[in-house]
Amino acid sequence: MTLTRTKGSAAPPAPPAPRRRPNRHPDDVWAAILLAVPFGGLVIFYLWPLLRTVLLSFSEGTAFTGYTLSGPQNWQQLFEGDDIWRALLNTLVYAAIVLLGVPIAMVVAALLHQRGLRGRSFYRTLYFVPVVTMPVAVAMVWRYIYNGDFGLLNEVLDSVGGPTRAWVADPDTALYAVAAVGIWMALGTNLIILAAGLEAVPETLEEAAMLDGAGPIRRFFSVTVPLLTPSIFLVSVLSVIGSLQMFDLLFIMLGRTNPALADSKTIVYLFYEEAFVRNDRPLGAVIALVTLVVTLAVTAVQFRLQRRWVTYA
Amino acid sequence: MRESSGVRSSRHLMTHVVLMAGALLMVSPFVWQFLTSIKTLGESTRIPPTVLPSSPQWSNYSAFFDVVPVGSMAVNSVLALVLRVVAQLLIASLAAYVFARLRFRFRGPLLACFLIVLMVPPQLFVIPQYEVIRTMGWLNSVQALALPGGFSAFGVFVLYQFMRTLPPELDEAARIDGANPWQIYLRIILPLCRPALAALTILTSLFSWNDLLWPLIVNTIPERMTLPVGLATLQGAQGTDYPVLMAGSLLTILPMVLVFVLLQKQFIRGIAMSGIKA
């Protein structure tokens, strides 16, 4: 059976171009054999679940009674309540704040990129450590640092005359406090991708600008940033998609009894709560589908806006 | 080079000041975590905070082992990681090979099925995945932790991208020598994919080790939990014993940080290659 292609290609008089015509699908059998397991898993764990989630969102029932299709009342119930709107707003605010980490990462990447800079890999290691650490563990530390009574942050702020409060127990600040940690955690990832982009920027351009008398700041904004826009775009899209998934930080930093929790839930948190704490799977399915819609919409907007500011050399 | 060394070093001095300040911000939470982990409970909640413990309380680390079944949780985390990584490397590389190197009917639509999954937020799969695992009777098991992740469209995509860059003459020559696709996959393509496989191994290990939502849902018996879930429940149970919490969380992040320090280059390549964060 492996000979099919050889046989076919032997037929026409011209020996080269063995890829043409004879059999466009010489590997059907092998593909079927080798794909059986991967595709089987895909169906069981991803494709079927996708369909099932859509069906569940239009169903009623419980895990014990089973679920029967019943119509759009779950959707109605969700959107008539306040929770989903609150969660949507929180998630978008969170994503927007974490996006502020991208310019920070750009500055750090540009600083690290300077020629002849010593200790580059030392800095890179330190900036990257939060990326490889478990969000749960990191969130615990920050929760402790943010503590209103004996937290380190309040102590530091107090010593410089800044405002002090119970950062993650106060509905006015909890989401922002979590988002600050989000920036802190994502900096390393953003940095790596932007650094890879900077590597691709031709040095001759930087040098030409330098010879023209442009200072480092001018060079950063007039040469580096425009050439880096494709990487900046990639980082921004990934940052937002990642932010829309935020769960771990919130779950740990705001415990279940936290007074700020009700006002600070994100979509995925709401999903977890409805589907696996309250065990309302149909409602959970609706929320899951909402995350899909939001992710697609936000990403589409970003791709739309891309034309205005991203230049592909 | 072009500038006088005096100018350059003074400019770099400013750079170092800024980078150092940033680095301090990145690292200080971990320093605080460590310092807290060796304080007494009283010291950890003192106002104003004490920086250094009067005498290091290393017993907080052993206390962590007494409060939750850390041993079995660590075993669960490791087993889930290994199973998930091995499954993913085998399964994803097989699928990637088929899509990148074979010509067959329905290649486009089938590949699209994998790529669609990549674009969908994971929550859409979670409820039915849970039902599948429960139906199999696998709740509270290692395979429950590892399984959906073991079949990874992300892995297929990363390896597919890599395999497409290998020259087609490789397969053609092997076929003329009488090798079948399985042999070509195993003996030629897979060995050449080592860098991509290494990057994928590292990223998957990181996902698996740090993951919270899925393990939280499927494994609810303490002896079957993973470390992050164990930590989360520990916080729920004794939310105020900060020294023990900090000791525990420090222990659980240590393996990945060590691996990162040792395999930094591969880590960074993995992130740059896929653009995906943990």
- Residues of A whose CB is below 8 A from B46: 150
Quick check: A45 and B104 CB within 8 A?
Answer: no
Choose the weakest-confidence range: A159-173, B9-23, B62-76.
Answer: B9-23
Taking residues B73-85, what's their average pLDDT?
Answer: 96
Quick check: B11 and A216 CB within 8 A?
Answer: yes
Name residues whose C-beta falls within 8 Å of residue B185's C-beta, 6 or more positions apart in sequence: A34, B93, B94, B97, B101
Q: Cα–Cα distance between A194 and A127 in angstroms, integer?
A: 13
Give the model's pLDDT for residue A16.
56
Which of B120, B153, B213 is opposite residue A272, by nearest beta carbon? B213
Q: How many CB pairs under 8 A join A and B?
A: 295
Which residue, A268, A255, A242, A274, is CA-closest to B207? A242
Of chain A, the end-to-end C-alpha distance in Å amounts to: 47
Taking residues A138-164, what's their average pLDDT?
Answer: 91
Q: Is A59 helix (H, G, I), strand (E, B) or coil?
A: strand
- Residues of B whose CB is below 8 A from A140: 231, 235, 245-246, 249
Taking residues B14-31, what's their average pLDDT?
Answer: 93
**How many Cα atoms sit within 13 Å of A212 on the Cβ side?**
11
- Residues of B whose CB is below 8 A from A123: 19, 23
Give the model's pLDDT for residue A268.
96
Scan for tokens 């106060």, then name that residue.
Answer: A170
For residue range A236-254, what is the model confidence (pLDDT) as tens digits?
Answer: 999 999 999 999 999 999 9
Is the confidence at residue A23, as pLDDT, over 90?
no
Which of B36, B97, B180 is opposite residue A2, by nearest beta carbon? B180
Q: What is the CATH number of domain A76-309?
A: 1.10.3720.10
Angle at B276 between CA B272 and CA B278, to 5 degrees: 115
Give the model's pLDDT for residue A6.
45
For residue range B245-262, what is the model confidence (pLDDT) as tens digits?
Answer: 999 999 999 999 998 888
Q: Which domain holds residue B195?
A: 68-226
- Residues of B whose CB is below 8 A from A112: 19
What ipTM was reported for this prediction? Answer: 0.89
Domain contains B239: no
Instruction: State which residue of chain B sits closest to A154, comparing Cα positions.
Output: B48
Quick check: A193 and B256 CB within 8 A?
Answer: no
For residue range A195-211, what is the model confidence (pLDDT) as tens digits?
Answer: 888 888 888 887 888 88
Which of B32, B91, B117 is opposite residue A141, by nearest beta carbon? B32
The mean pLDDT of chain A is 89
Q: Cα–Cα distance between B112 and A106 in angstroms, integer?
A: 34
Domain contains B81: yes
Mutate one of B73, B115, B277 to test the A interface: name it (highest A CB count within 10 A): B277
Quick check: A255 and B47 CB within 8 A?
Answer: no
DSSP state for residue A66 in the 8-state scheme = E
Quick check: B181 and A27 CB within 8 A?
Answer: yes
Q: Cα–Cα distance between A121 and A90 in angstroms, integer?
A: 36
Which of A152, A242, A256 is opposite residue B277, by nearest beta carbon? A242
Domain contains B172: yes
The total number of structural domains in chain B stands at: 1
Give the model's pLDDT for residue B241.
87
The mean pLDDT of chain B is 89
Domain contains B152: yes
Do residues B69 and B229 lie in contact, with contact meaning Cβ atoms separated by under 8 Å? no
Q: Cα–Cα distance between B254 and A35 in angstroms, integer?
A: 38
Give the model's pLDDT for residue B3.
46
Quick check: A144 and B91 CB within 8 A?
Answer: no
pTM of the model: 0.89
Domain contains B185: yes
Task: Quote the tokens at residue A199.
Answer: 């590597």
Q: Cα–Cα distance between B141 and B220 in angstroms, integer?
A: 10
Q: How far is B81 from chain A (nearest CA, A)?
A: 14
Q: How confident is the model at residue A8 (pLDDT cuts 50, 70, 90)?
A: very low
CATH number at residue B74: 1.10.3720.10
**How many Cα atoms sit within 13 Å of A158 on the Cβ side?**
15
Taking residues B180-197, what's their average pLDDT?
Answer: 93
Q: How confident is the model at residue A14 (pLDDT cuts 50, 70, 90)?
A: low
Q: Which amino acid is at A168?
A: V
Instruction: For residue A300, give Cα distances in angstroms to A244, A245, B143.
Output: 14, 17, 36
Scan for tokens 């700041």, then name that residue.
Answer: A217
Quick check: B275 and A271 CB within 8 A?
Answer: no
Q: Cα–Cα distance between B256 and A134 in angstroms, integer?
A: 8
- The percent of residues above 70 in pLDDT, for chain B, comes to 94
Instruction: State which residue of chain A sits closest to B128, comparing Cα positions.
Output: A49
Task: Quote the tokens at residue B9.
Answer: 């070093």
For residue range A285-303, what is the model confidence (pLDDT) as tens digits?
Answer: 999 999 999 999 999 999 9
Quick check: A271 and B123 CB within 8 A?
Answer: yes
For chain A, give the number of residues: 313
Is the confidence at residue B4, as pLDDT, over 50?
no
Q: Check residue B178 and give left, alpha or beta (phi > 0: left; psi -120 to 50: alpha).
A: left
Quick check: B176 and A38 CB within 8 A?
Answer: no
Name residues whose C-beta falls within 8 Å of residue B63's C-beta, 6 or more positions apart in sequence: B244, B247
- Residues of A whose CB is below 8 A from B252: 134, 136-137
Q: Cα–Cα distance between B151 and B81 in angstroms, integer?
A: 13
Do residues A165 and A154 lie in contact, with contact meaning Cβ atoms separated by under 8 Å? yes
Burial of B3 (C-beta count, 10 Å sphere; 0-12/13-18/19+): exposed
Q: Residue A59's beta-bridge partner residues?
A: A69
Instruction: State which residue of chain B sits closest to A231, comparing Cα positions.
Output: B275
Domain contains B251: no
Ranges of each domain in chain A: 4-9+17-57, 76-309
Domain contains B181: yes
Q: Cα–Cα distance between A133 and B250 in angstroms, integer?
A: 9
For residue range A95-126, what is the model confidence (pLDDT) as tens digits?
Answer: 999 999 999 999 999 999 887 888 888 998 89
